[in-house]
Amino acid sequence: LDSLLQESIVKMSEEIVEFAAVKQFTEDKSSLIIDVRNPDEFAAGHIPSAVNVPLPELGNALGLSAEEFKEKYKFDLPGKEDAIITNCKMGGRAGKGYNLLKETGFTNLKLYKGSLKDWMEQGGEVVKEE
């Protein structure tokens, strides 16, 4: 049991990203950063290049056709192997979004556990919507 627990902890730690990695992803656009906060929170300030799919909508959003998804969320429905990072304000909702994506069959996921709070504390640029 101990070895199984250790393996699980190591696996999870491989799936957590920190500020420096997320900053790199905002610059090279190699990962889709999904902010699962509510639209008003997202508009008030978010990580550059992040897109918004609120956590309460995430499950249904993933069931939409590619056309419906793009029309509603203004970006392409990600593929199951696309690199995706979830974030929110402090990490709780991002973890739930991460788990929901994983349960839906997405395989290339990372969780920004520190989320926006850590991003701002590290001096990351914050984009505000008009």
Name the catalytic one among 32, 88, 111, 116: 88
Contact (CB, 8 A) for 54 and 38: yes
Percent of the chain with pLDDT over 90: 87
Catalytic residue list contains 72: no
How many alpha carbons fall within 13 Å on the CB side of residue 41?
15
pLDDT in tens, 30-52: 999 999 999 999 999 999 999 99
pLDDT in tens, 62-80: 999 999 999 999 999 999 9
Reply yes or no on whether the pLDDT at 128 is more than 90.
Answer: yes
H or E stretch at 84? strand 84-87
- The stretch 89-100 carries a mean pLDDT of 95
Stated pTM of the model: 0.89
pLDDT value at residue 10: 44
